[in-house]
Structure 1
Amino acid sequence: MRRLETPRLILRAPRAEDFPRYAEFAADPITQEHLGGVQAESDAWRTFAATLGAWQLTDAAMFAVEEKSSGLWIGRLGPWKPHQWPVKEVGWGLHRSAEGKGYALEAAVASIDYVFAELGWERVDHLIADDNTRSQALARRLGSVPGEEKRMPGSLSEHQVCAWGQTRDEWLARREQFDVLVPRSL
Protein backbone atom coordinates (compact mmCIF):
# COMPACT_ATOMS: atom_id res chain seq x y z
CA MET A 1 0.00 0.00 0.00
CA ARG A 2 1.03 3.55 -0.62
CA ARG A 3 2.40 5.45 2.35
CA LEU A 4 4.26 8.74 2.52
CA GLU A 5 6.02 10.42 5.42
CA THR A 6 7.01 14.00 6.01
CA PRO A 7 8.84 15.33 9.04
CA ARG A 8 5.56 15.74 10.99
CA LEU A 9 2.99 13.63 9.13
CA ILE A 10 2.15 10.15 7.89
CA LEU A 11 0.03 9.94 4.75
CA ARG A 12 -1.57 6.50 4.51
CA ALA A 13 -4.70 4.58 3.61
CA PRO A 14 -7.76 5.37 5.73
CA ARG A 15 -8.59 2.93 8.55
CA ALA A 16 -11.87 2.24 10.34
CA GLU A 17 -10.55 3.84 13.52
CA ASP A 18 -10.19 7.15 11.62
CA PHE A 19 -13.96 7.45 11.25
CA PRO A 20 -14.83 9.26 14.51
CA ARG A 21 -12.46 12.11 13.64
CA TYR A 22 -13.65 12.04 10.02
CA ALA A 23 -17.25 12.35 11.24
CA GLU A 24 -16.26 15.43 13.30
CA PHE A 25 -14.58 16.90 10.22
CA ALA A 26 -17.63 16.18 8.05
CA ALA A 27 -20.02 17.72 10.63
CA ASP A 28 -18.06 20.96 11.00
CA PRO A 29 -19.67 23.83 9.07
CA ILE A 30 -16.37 25.69 8.78
CA THR A 31 -14.32 22.81 7.36
CA GLN A 32 -17.19 21.76 5.09
CA GLU A 33 -18.02 25.23 3.74
CA HIS A 34 -16.29 24.51 0.42
CA LEU A 35 -16.42 20.69 0.53
CA GLY A 36 -20.08 20.09 -0.22
CA GLY A 37 -21.57 21.10 3.13
CA VAL A 38 -22.09 19.54 6.52
CA GLN A 39 -22.81 15.81 6.51
CA ALA A 40 -24.88 13.76 8.91
CA GLU A 41 -22.94 10.86 10.40
CA SER A 42 -24.55 8.34 8.03
CA ASP A 43 -23.59 10.47 5.00
CA ALA A 44 -20.09 10.95 6.39
CA TRP A 45 -19.76 7.17 6.67
CA ARG A 46 -20.61 6.74 3.00
CA THR A 47 -18.14 9.47 1.97
CA PHE A 48 -15.47 7.92 4.18
CA ALA A 49 -16.18 4.47 2.70
CA ALA A 50 -15.98 5.91 -0.82
CA THR A 51 -12.51 7.26 -0.09
CA LEU A 52 -11.42 3.87 1.19
CA GLY A 53 -13.00 2.22 -1.85
CA ALA A 54 -11.06 4.53 -4.14
CA TRP A 55 -7.89 2.99 -2.68
CA GLN A 56 -9.06 -0.38 -3.98
CA LEU A 57 -10.24 0.84 -7.38
CA THR A 58 -7.77 3.52 -8.46
CA ASP A 59 -4.26 4.77 -7.91
CA ALA A 60 -5.57 8.29 -7.16
CA ALA A 61 -7.09 8.09 -3.70
CA MET A 62 -6.73 10.67 -0.95
CA PHE A 63 -4.49 9.81 1.95
CA ALA A 64 -5.55 9.84 5.56
CA VAL A 65 -3.26 12.40 7.18
CA GLU A 66 -1.95 11.38 10.59
CA GLU A 67 -0.06 13.69 12.90
CA LYS A 68 3.08 11.81 13.99
CA SER A 69 3.29 13.43 17.43
CA SER A 70 -0.25 12.46 18.48
CA GLY A 71 -1.23 9.62 16.14
CA LEU A 72 -4.48 11.50 15.41
CA TRP A 73 -6.25 11.53 12.05
CA ILE A 74 -6.13 15.21 11.07
CA GLY A 75 -7.48 15.21 7.54
CA ARG A 76 -7.64 13.78 4.07
CA LEU A 77 -5.38 15.05 1.35
CA GLY A 78 -3.82 13.86 -1.86
CA PRO A 79 -4.55 12.57 -5.34
CA TRP A 80 -8.17 12.36 -6.37
CA LYS A 81 -9.60 11.25 -9.70
CA PRO A 82 -12.93 9.47 -9.17
CA HIS A 83 -15.12 8.49 -12.10
CA GLN A 84 -15.94 11.51 -14.31
CA TRP A 85 -13.92 13.94 -12.18
CA PRO A 86 -12.96 16.88 -14.40
CA VAL A 87 -9.21 16.92 -13.59
CA LYS A 88 -6.42 14.95 -11.96
CA GLU A 89 -6.48 16.64 -8.60
CA VAL A 90 -4.50 16.92 -5.42
CA GLY A 91 -7.13 18.10 -2.98
CA TRP A 92 -7.17 18.81 0.73
CA GLY A 93 -9.33 19.10 3.78
CA LEU A 94 -8.11 19.19 7.37
CA HIS A 95 -9.84 18.78 10.72
CA ARG A 96 -10.21 22.21 12.26
CA SER A 97 -7.83 21.27 15.11
CA ALA A 98 -5.03 20.89 12.52
CA GLU A 99 -5.49 24.21 10.76
CA GLY A 100 -2.87 26.94 10.93
CA LYS A 101 0.07 24.60 11.54
CA GLY A 102 1.39 24.30 7.98
CA TYR A 103 0.22 20.70 7.69
CA ALA A 104 -1.73 21.24 4.46
CA LEU A 105 1.34 22.67 2.73
CA GLU A 106 3.58 19.88 4.02
CA ALA A 107 1.21 17.11 2.96
CA ALA A 108 0.42 18.77 -0.38
CA VAL A 109 4.13 18.99 -1.26
CA ALA A 110 4.57 15.27 -0.53
CA SER A 111 1.42 14.44 -2.50
CA ILE A 112 2.44 16.48 -5.53
CA ASP A 113 5.86 14.83 -5.50
CA TYR A 114 4.05 11.48 -5.37
CA VAL A 115 1.68 12.11 -8.30
CA PHE A 116 4.51 13.25 -10.54
CA ALA A 117 7.10 10.63 -9.51
CA GLU A 118 4.92 7.59 -8.84
CA LEU A 119 1.70 8.09 -10.79
CA GLY A 120 3.33 9.69 -13.82
CA TRP A 121 0.99 12.66 -14.00
CA GLU A 122 2.12 15.49 -16.27
CA ARG A 123 -0.16 18.06 -14.61
CA VAL A 124 -1.82 18.53 -11.24
CA ASP A 125 -4.88 20.67 -10.47
CA HIS A 126 -6.77 21.77 -7.37
CA LEU A 127 -10.50 22.45 -7.79
CA ILE A 128 -11.26 25.58 -5.78
CA ALA A 129 -14.41 27.68 -5.44
CA ASP A 130 -14.03 31.38 -6.22
CA ASP A 131 -14.78 32.38 -2.63
CA ASN A 132 -12.40 29.86 -1.04
CA THR A 133 -9.55 32.28 -0.46
CA ARG A 134 -7.72 30.01 2.01
CA SER A 135 -7.39 27.19 -0.51
CA GLN A 136 -6.45 29.68 -3.21
CA ALA A 137 -3.63 30.92 -0.96
CA LEU A 138 -2.35 27.36 -0.48
CA ALA A 139 -2.54 26.65 -4.21
CA ARG A 140 -0.68 29.88 -4.95
CA ARG A 141 1.99 29.00 -2.36
CA LEU A 142 2.41 25.64 -4.11
CA GLY A 143 2.97 27.50 -7.39
CA SER A 144 -0.37 26.70 -8.98
CA VAL A 145 -2.20 29.34 -10.98
CA PRO A 146 -5.91 29.72 -11.78
CA GLY A 147 -7.03 28.22 -15.07
CA GLU A 148 -10.29 27.02 -16.58
CA GLU A 149 -13.62 26.90 -14.80
CA LYS A 150 -14.82 23.31 -14.37
CA ARG A 151 -18.29 21.95 -13.73
CA MET A 152 -18.39 19.27 -11.05
CA PRO A 153 -19.95 15.90 -11.97
CA GLY A 154 -23.12 14.19 -10.77
CA SER A 155 -24.92 15.55 -7.72
CA LEU A 156 -22.32 18.33 -7.50
CA SER A 157 -23.12 19.59 -11.01
CA GLU A 158 -24.58 22.87 -9.76
CA HIS A 159 -21.06 23.81 -8.58
CA GLN A 160 -18.56 25.39 -10.91
CA VAL A 161 -15.00 25.74 -9.63
CA CYS A 162 -11.67 26.98 -10.90
CA ALA A 163 -8.92 24.49 -11.71
CA TRP A 164 -5.74 25.90 -10.19
CA GLY A 165 -2.80 23.95 -11.55
CA GLN A 166 0.69 23.48 -12.84
CA THR A 167 2.69 21.07 -14.96
CA ARG A 168 5.29 18.62 -13.76
CA ASP A 169 8.07 20.77 -15.25
CA GLU A 170 6.75 23.88 -13.50
CA TRP A 171 6.69 22.00 -10.19
CA LEU A 172 10.20 20.66 -10.61
CA ALA A 173 11.50 24.15 -11.48
CA ARG A 174 10.34 25.50 -8.10
CA ARG A 175 10.49 22.36 -5.93
CA GLU A 176 13.76 23.40 -4.26
CA GLN A 177 11.97 26.00 -2.15
CA PHE A 178 10.20 23.16 -0.27
CA ASP A 179 13.31 21.02 0.39
CA VAL A 180 13.58 22.13 4.03
CA LEU A 181 9.88 21.44 4.66
CA VAL A 182 9.73 18.09 2.85
CA PRO A 183 13.00 16.51 1.69
CA ARG A 184 12.89 15.79 -2.03
CA SER A 185 11.95 12.30 -3.14
CA LEU A 186 12.09 12.89 -6.91
Structure 2
Amino acid sequence: MPLSPTAPPTLATDRLRLRPMRADDWPAYAALMASARARYMGGPFASAAAWGMFCADHAQWDFLGCGALMIEERDSGRTVGQIAVNAGPLFPEHELGWCLYDGAEGRGIAAEAAQRMLDWARDTADLPTLVSYIDAENAASRRLAERLGAQQDPAAARPGPDDLVYRHFGAPRGT
Protein backbone atom coordinates (compact mmCIF):
# COMPACT_ATOMS: atom_id res chain seq x y z
CA MET A 1 0.00 0.00 0.00
CA PRO A 2 1.81 3.15 -1.13
CA LEU A 3 1.46 6.22 1.02
CA SER A 4 0.86 9.67 -0.45
CA PRO A 5 3.98 11.75 -1.09
CA THR A 6 4.62 14.04 1.85
CA ALA A 7 7.22 16.32 3.34
CA PRO A 8 9.28 14.54 5.99
CA PRO A 9 7.95 15.18 9.48
CA THR A 10 9.90 16.22 12.53
CA LEU A 11 9.12 13.89 15.44
CA ALA A 12 10.24 14.22 19.03
CA THR A 13 10.76 12.22 22.19
CA ASP A 14 11.95 13.44 25.57
CA ARG A 15 15.60 13.13 24.51
CA LEU A 16 15.54 13.04 20.71
CA ARG A 17 14.50 14.96 17.65
CA LEU A 18 13.87 12.89 14.53
CA ARG A 19 14.31 15.43 11.77
CA PRO A 20 14.51 15.61 7.99
CA MET A 21 17.86 14.89 6.41
CA ARG A 22 20.14 17.76 5.37
CA ALA A 23 23.12 17.94 3.04
CA ASP A 24 25.43 18.43 6.02
CA ASP A 25 24.40 14.97 7.31
CA TRP A 26 26.26 13.37 4.40
CA PRO A 27 29.83 13.18 5.82
CA ALA A 28 28.84 11.25 8.96
CA TYR A 29 26.50 9.00 6.97
CA ALA A 30 29.22 8.32 4.39
CA ALA A 31 31.69 7.45 7.15
CA LEU A 32 29.23 4.98 8.69
CA MET A 33 28.51 3.33 5.35
CA ALA A 34 32.24 3.03 4.56
CA SER A 35 32.98 1.42 7.93
CA ALA A 36 32.78 -2.16 9.17
CA ARG A 37 29.60 -1.10 11.01
CA ALA A 38 27.80 -1.27 7.63
CA ARG A 39 28.46 -5.01 7.25
CA TYR A 40 24.95 -5.89 8.41
CA MET A 41 23.50 -3.69 5.65
CA GLY A 42 25.54 -5.23 2.84
CA GLY A 43 28.53 -2.90 3.22
CA PRO A 44 30.97 -1.41 3.63
CA PHE A 45 29.98 0.79 0.70
CA ALA A 46 32.02 2.96 -1.64
CA SER A 47 31.14 6.65 -1.65
CA ALA A 48 29.06 6.46 -4.84
CA ALA A 49 26.89 3.63 -3.53
CA ALA A 50 26.48 5.33 -0.14
CA TRP A 51 25.50 8.58 -1.88
CA GLY A 52 22.79 6.73 -3.80
CA MET A 53 21.46 5.26 -0.55
CA PHE A 54 21.56 8.66 1.16
CA CYS A 55 19.61 10.27 -1.67
CA ALA A 56 17.10 7.41 -1.82
CA ASP A 57 16.53 7.68 1.94
CA HIS A 58 15.49 11.30 1.41
CA ALA A 59 13.66 10.89 -1.92
CA GLN A 60 11.29 8.26 -0.57
CA TRP A 61 9.32 11.06 1.13
CA ASP A 62 8.53 12.67 -2.25
CA PHE A 63 7.88 9.41 -4.06
CA LEU A 64 6.44 7.09 -1.41
CA GLY A 65 5.33 9.11 1.62
CA CYS A 66 7.94 7.61 3.93
CA GLY A 67 11.71 7.65 4.27
CA ALA A 68 14.53 8.42 6.64
CA LEU A 69 14.90 10.91 9.47
CA MET A 70 18.09 11.76 11.27
CA ILE A 71 18.28 11.06 15.00
CA GLU A 72 19.46 14.14 16.86
CA GLU A 73 20.00 14.56 20.59
CA ARG A 74 17.78 17.42 21.73
CA ASP A 75 20.16 18.68 24.42
CA SER A 76 23.38 18.69 22.40
CA GLY A 77 22.04 18.95 18.84
CA ARG A 78 24.44 16.14 17.89
CA THR A 79 23.26 13.78 15.14
CA VAL A 80 23.71 10.20 16.34
CA GLY A 81 22.11 8.07 13.61
CA GLN A 82 19.17 7.51 11.34
CA ILE A 83 15.72 5.95 11.60
CA ALA A 84 13.51 5.15 8.63
CA VAL A 85 10.35 3.64 7.30
CA ASN A 86 11.55 2.32 3.95
CA ALA A 87 9.51 1.30 0.92
CA GLY A 88 9.98 0.87 -2.78
CA PRO A 89 11.36 -1.82 -5.05
CA LEU A 90 14.08 -2.98 -2.63
CA PHE A 91 11.61 -3.72 0.17
CA PRO A 92 8.81 -6.31 -0.09
CA GLU A 93 6.95 -4.50 2.72
CA HIS A 94 7.27 -1.21 4.57
CA GLU A 95 10.37 -1.64 6.70
CA LEU A 96 11.48 0.01 9.92
CA GLY A 97 15.25 0.38 9.80
CA TRP A 98 17.80 2.03 12.08
CA CYS A 99 21.48 2.73 12.35
CA LEU A 100 23.52 4.50 14.98
CA TYR A 101 26.83 6.26 14.63
CA ASP A 102 29.82 5.06 16.59
CA GLY A 103 29.53 6.00 20.26
CA ALA A 104 25.73 6.28 20.34
CA GLU A 105 25.06 2.66 21.37
CA GLY A 106 24.04 1.45 24.78
CA ARG A 107 21.92 4.45 25.79
CA GLY A 108 18.53 3.36 24.46
CA ILE A 109 18.65 5.85 21.58
CA ALA A 110 17.77 3.33 18.85
CA ALA A 111 14.87 1.95 20.90
CA GLU A 112 13.50 5.42 21.65
CA ALA A 113 13.77 6.53 18.01
CA ALA A 114 12.35 3.26 16.69
CA GLN A 115 9.36 3.38 19.04
CA ARG A 116 8.58 6.94 17.97
CA MET A 117 8.83 5.96 14.30
CA LEU A 118 6.62 2.91 14.93
CA ASP A 119 4.02 5.19 16.50
CA TRP A 120 4.19 7.50 13.46
CA ALA A 121 3.83 4.55 11.06
CA ARG A 122 0.80 3.17 12.87
CA ASP A 123 -0.98 6.35 13.95
CA THR A 124 -0.14 8.93 11.26
CA ALA A 125 0.84 6.92 8.17
CA ASP A 126 -1.84 4.33 9.01
CA LEU A 127 0.35 1.43 7.86
CA PRO A 128 -1.40 -1.91 8.43
CA THR A 129 1.91 -3.68 9.14
CA LEU A 130 5.60 -2.95 9.45
CA VAL A 131 8.64 -5.22 9.42
CA SER A 132 12.38 -4.99 10.02
CA TYR A 133 14.79 -6.90 7.80
CA ILE A 134 17.74 -7.91 9.96
CA ASP A 135 20.93 -9.77 9.15
CA ALA A 136 20.90 -13.01 11.17
CA GLU A 137 24.35 -12.15 12.59
CA ASN A 138 23.23 -8.75 13.90
CA ALA A 139 22.42 -9.74 17.48
CA ALA A 140 22.00 -6.15 18.70
CA SER A 141 19.36 -5.34 16.08
CA ARG A 142 17.59 -8.62 16.72
CA ARG A 143 17.41 -7.81 20.44
CA LEU A 144 16.11 -4.33 19.68
CA ALA A 145 13.36 -5.66 17.40
CA GLU A 146 12.32 -8.10 20.12
CA ARG A 147 12.42 -5.36 22.77
CA LEU A 148 10.06 -3.35 20.55
CA GLY A 149 7.65 -6.31 20.57
CA ALA A 150 8.40 -7.60 17.07
CA GLN A 151 8.31 -11.32 16.36
CA GLN A 152 10.07 -13.26 13.65
CA ASP A 153 7.90 -13.96 10.62
CA PRO A 154 9.60 -16.81 8.73
CA ALA A 155 6.88 -16.84 6.04
CA ALA A 156 7.38 -13.18 5.07
CA ALA A 157 9.04 -12.13 1.85
CA ARG A 158 12.53 -10.77 2.36
CA PRO A 159 14.95 -8.71 0.27
CA GLY A 160 17.78 -11.19 0.77
CA PRO A 161 17.61 -14.94 1.36
CA ASP A 162 19.52 -14.72 4.65
CA ASP A 163 17.58 -11.79 6.12
CA LEU A 164 15.37 -12.38 9.13
CA VAL A 165 12.01 -10.64 9.09
CA TYR A 166 10.69 -9.21 12.35
CA ARG A 167 7.05 -8.13 12.22
CA HIS A 168 6.19 -5.20 14.49
CA PHE A 169 2.43 -5.15 14.07
CA GLY A 170 -0.34 -6.24 11.76
CA ALA A 171 -0.68 -9.11 9.36
CA PRO A 172 1.37 -9.56 6.21
CA ARG A 173 0.05 -8.04 3.00
CA GLY A 174 -2.51 -10.13 1.21
CA THR A 175 -3.98 -11.74 4.33
**TM-score range relative to shorter protein:** 0.7 to 0.9
Q: Distance in 1 between matches of 2:88 and 2:74?
A: 28
Tell me the residue number matched to 2:14. Answer: 7
Percent identical: 30
* TM-score, with length taken from structure 1: 0.81
- Determine if contact 2:66/2:86 at 8 Å carries over to the other structure: yes
Are 2:29 and 1:27 equivalent residues in the alignment? no
Q: Which runs of 5+ in 2 are unaligned?
A: 1-6
The question of 1:126 aligning with 2:132 is answered yes
Residue 53 (structure 1) shift: 1.2
Q: 1:110 to 1:135 in 2, by over 3 A?
A: same
Q: Give 5+ residue unaligned stretches, structure 1.
A: 170-186
Confirm or deny that 1:140 pairs with 2:142. Answer: no
Q: 1:52 to 1:32 in 2, by over 3 A?
A: same
Structure 1 distance, partners of 2:143, 2:27, is 29
| Match runs of 1:1-186 below 5 Å | 1=7, 2-29=9-36, 31-148=37-154, 150-152=157-159, 157=160, 159-167=161-169
1:50 partner SS: helix
CA RMSD of aligned residues (A): 1.8
How many corresponding residue pairs? 163
User: Alignment partner of 2:40: what SS?
Assistant: coil
- Output the amino acid matched with 2:69: F
Q: Determine the C-alpha separation between the residues in 2 that align with 1:116 and 1:85.
A: 18
Residue range with higher mean Cα deviation, 38-47 or 89-98? 38-47
Calculate the TM-score normalised by the size of structure 2: 0.85
